[in-house]
Amino acid sequence: MKNLVIVESPSKAKTIQKYLGGEFEVTSCMGHIRDLAGNDKAIDIANNFRPNYEVSEDKKKLVTDLKKRAKQADIVWLASDEDREGEAIAWHLVEALELSEAKTKRIVFHEITKPAIVKAVQNPRGIDKNLVDAQQARRVLDRLVGYGLSPVLWRKVQAKLSAGRVQSVAVRLVVEREREIQAFSATSQFKIVATFDVDGKVVTAEHPKRFHTEEGARAFLDSCIGAQYSIVNLETKPSTKRASPPFTTSTLQQEASRKLGYTLVRTMRLAQDLYEQGLITYMRTDSQNLSELAIEAAKQEIVSSFGSQYSSPRNYTTKVASAQEAHEAIRPTDFARRKAVESDAHAKLYDLIYKRTMASQMSDAKLERTIAAISISSLPDTLTATGEVIVFDGFLRVYSESRSDDDQDDEETSKMLPPLRVGQDLVFQSMSAKERFERPPARYTEASLVKALEELGIGRPSTYAPTIQNIQARNYVDKPEREGRKRDIRELVLQHDAVSRRVHQETSGAEKNKLAPTDIGMIVTDFLVKHFDNIMDYNFTANVEKQFDEIAQGMVRWTEMIRAFYGPFEAELRRTSETAERQSGERLLGVDPASGKNVYVRLARYGPIAQIGEADDEVKRQKGLTGTLKIETITLEEALELFKFPRTIGLFEEHPMDAKLGRFGPYIEHNKAFYSLPKEDNPYTIDGTRGVEVILARRQKIEENTIKTFPEDDNVKILKGRWGPFIKVGKQNVRIPKDTDAASLTLEECLQLALQQAPQKPVKAAAAENTTAKKTAVKKTAVKKTAVKKTAAKKVAKKVVKKATKK
């Protein structure tokens, strides 16, 4: 074998192998193979920031293998992506595989098409060391910032916290949005809408002016009593609508979130599958570019399906400043393929990508907007009725983009108007003045937060989903469920020459899956903004990116750039460590009227608490904050309510029922058993009658979900779970092998399965349990320690995934 080609991704390797044929062997390195050491020897600051790289633990086998194959090859072609990280990967390969310059060629392509690959092989180059240096600067900066800030948080806020160039700014966005919402006070206005009958069709018209008071609105309606209405002017304006560009990672995540309700992780997981099946191009990209082949293929498909008037081939230039465009946009690889079949979820995502790409190559839609001005005989005011007709649907035939989350527009009012003429008299039906409240800024969704980060140039396509996961896993932000509040909406209606008034209720502010900061998120953000405003600045990344570009162009040495950053940063770190006070977010809410003691809220070891009495009082009372209560916004009254628990709400089967607030929400404790309260029940007001109902309902459900019990051992049960039957042995959940009838299992078989699936406790338990036990655990080998760390980290990650994909 003469030619060894190394790309980053195995799926890519497979495709390229097809294009290059037998002369070449194409393989992959799975991304970065080396990284900074994990310990304090990672960067030798005194020695000009000399980085110490190590082959990553999970890549050791791969690197040994690649090294062997590289030895046997005459030429090694390094075909990692053409961006900063890709160039660094190529350089690390040279270093780790000990490749000589003579037998190494660097090639790049932006699209996986045969002509692009062939052209790349014909134009090899050497490694761009300047670009590599820009990456080293990026890597070293992120380590210095992350490993510099985090320990300050451990000392000043809480152990195990984290901070970094990307995650801390992401949290800041959420924190500041929350404060905008808190500061927002909704004002309301009255909007006038009239309806007319035109030959059996309803025409609605509105007054361009909004009334700020009910009196004003009423006065207007009063003066319309008995009025005549006629059309005084008609205007039609043509307009066009253009399709959106094809998907990048971030826009795919946004649309999948809005149209399909997928989380970021779900979207990326499905896209990865489609990519591996060869159905779509690479899914982690910031480019809107389409290859010439793709544009041509889309054109053929469009012309044959819809006709040539629908075709409008074009390419898009990426507007995001941070884009590195190492790949194409996300598109189908084969336009003749209309469907993906693996699962319904895959099919929906593929359909979205397919249609979006097709639409991007289709003609503009042509619209005609008609505006009719309607006079009122009793007033100088005019009403306007607006209609829109699609003259030519163009790209709308396949795709219409959803509206963005922060869109404040009302429901689409423009529809088709019946034929109208100037001077025409209209038959009045009714007119209403309905109160409308201004909406506060919207909380971020996962996807809209990605959009905000991208606009600031923060983070990369490969890190958007993991970053948003991470700030949730670290409990800086979460997705609290909000019930929303009912509020009165006033409406005046003019009909049959009389104005009537009614008030109806509307629920506002109900939310699910929206990001909000936790108490710890707010405390950490405030602390970092106060002491490290430079790094927390929304433009910090953009500024350092400019400097990375200068390094890439050979204008600045990377070590110089890092030195200039590190001096002042290190001084800030030291000053903050020495002078800053410990932060707990403590607030004095007021005085408890019952005891005369102060009431505080603050962050304690296990989360936010309310406290009656001073910290050093021998007798003080503490309660955890529950639900959507926050340190920053809780009132004295709300805090005092917490201390009313446990509430004994009645007696049942000779045992008291106590309503309590727990870590997992409100519950009833009864005879040593726990019954969670359903969402519709309020722990502050629930009574004994309802308590009994909750208990009985729960018991019935347990019974329904029990498949089998064993009289000889009540520790073992076979239950119905979310994913089918399983065995419960004490606290351990045991899965049942496929093709096994759950109900027929014997006690012995159950215990046997439990034994087989028993968690390997010794290592984990020593690390996770109490701190005194740790002394002995620490003495174990380094290898074991990393193993423990990894499983723990994986567990956290998994938990989040679970949470995210639950619904």
CB of 728 to DNA, least distance (A): 10
The alpha helices in 598-746, defined as continuous H runs, are 636-642, 688-704
The smaller minimum CB distance to DNA, of residues 59 and 105, is found at 59
* Angle value at C-alpha 201, between 198 and 205, nearest 5 degrees: 70
Among candidates 510, 505, 509, which has minimal Cα distance to 487?
Answer: 505
CB of 459 to DNA, least distance (A): 4
CA distance 560 to 131: 15
CB of 767 to DNA, least distance (A): 9
The smaller minimum CB distance to DNA, of residues 555 and 793, is found at 793
CA distance 732 to 735: 10
The smaller minimum CB distance to DNA, of residues 147 and 316, is found at 147
The smaller minimum CB distance to DNA, of residues 256 and 753, is found at 753
Question: How do strand 665-670 and strand 673-676 relate by DSSP bridges?
Answer: antiparallel
Question: Which residues have CB under 8 Å from 521's CB, separation 6+?
Answer: 171, 174, 175, 471, 475, 476, 477
The smaller minimum CB distance to DNA, of residues 256 and 777, is found at 777
CA distance 598 to 461: 49
Please write down the HEC assignment for all residues of 213-247: CHHHHHHHHHHHCCCCEEEEEEEEEEEEECCCCCE
Question: Which residues have CB under 8 Å from 46's CB, separation 6+?
Answer: none
The smaller minimum CB distance to DNA, of residues 232 and 793, is found at 793
CB of 771 to DNA, least distance (A): 4
Question: Which residues have CB under 8 Å from 15's CB, separation 6+?
Answer: 112, 278
Cβ(707)–Cβ(720) under 8 Å?
A: yes
* Angle value at C-alpha 46, between 45 and 49, nearest 5 degrees: 35
What is the length of the chain? 807
The smaller minimum CB distance to DNA, of residues 12 and 397, is found at 12
Among candidates 688, 793, 715, which has minimal Cα distance to 470?
Answer: 793
CA distance 247 to 289: 9
CB of 156 to DNA, least distance (A): 12
The smaller minimum CB distance to DNA, of residues 180 and 533, is found at 533
Q: Is 476 a catalytic residue?
A: no
Q: Enter the tokens of residue 802.
A: 């679970």
Q: What region does 75 belong to: left with phi over 0, alpha with psi -120 to 50, or beta?
A: beta
CA distance 617 to 635: 23
CA distance 584 to 599: 15
Burial (Cβ within 10 Å: 0-12, 13-18, ≥19) of residue 181: middle
The smaller minimum CB distance to DNA, of residues 70 and 450, is found at 450
Q: Enter the tokens of residue 600.
A: 């505080």
The smaller minimum CB distance to DNA, of residues 272 and 424, is found at 272
CB of 58 to DNA, least distance (A): 7
Q: Enter the tokens of residue 562.
A: 């890092």
The smaller minimum CB distance to DNA, of residues 392 and 675, is found at 675
Terminal alpha carbon distance of the chain: 51
Find the catalytic residue in 229, 275, 282, 464: 282
The smaller minimum CB distance to DNA, of residues 557 and 660, is found at 660
Exposure string (b/e) for 482-515, b if CB count within 10 Å is 16 or more? eeeeeeebebbbbeeeebeeeeeeeeeeebeebb
Question: Which residues have CB under 8 Å from 272's CB, separation 6+?
Answer: 283
The residue whose two tokens read 């052209």 is 119
CB of 784 to DNA, least distance (A): 12
CA distance 149 to 540: 15
CB of 445 to DNA, least distance (A): 20
Strand partners, 385: 372
The smaller minimum CB distance to DNA, of residues 81 and 388, is found at 81
DSSP 601: E
CA distance 628 to 626: 6
Radius of gyration of the chain (CA): 32
CB of 105 to DNA, least distance (A): 21
Whether omega before 646 lies within 30 degrees of 0, making that bond cis, reads yes
CB of 498 to DNA, least distance (A): 55
Exposure string (b/e) for 359-376, b if CB count within 10 Å is 16 or more? bbbbbebbbeebbbbbbb
CB of 379 to DNA, least distance (A): 59
The residue whose two tokens read 């970053």 is 467
The alpha helices in 225-373, defined as continuous H runs, are 249-255, 264-276, 292-306, 344-360
CB of 59 to DNA, least distance (A): 9
CA distance 222 to 499: 7
CB of 560 to DNA, least distance (A): 21
As a dihedral over the C-alpha atoms of residue 386, residue 389, residue 394, residue 400, rounded to 10 degrees, the angle is: 50
User: Catalytic residue numbers?
Assistant: 282
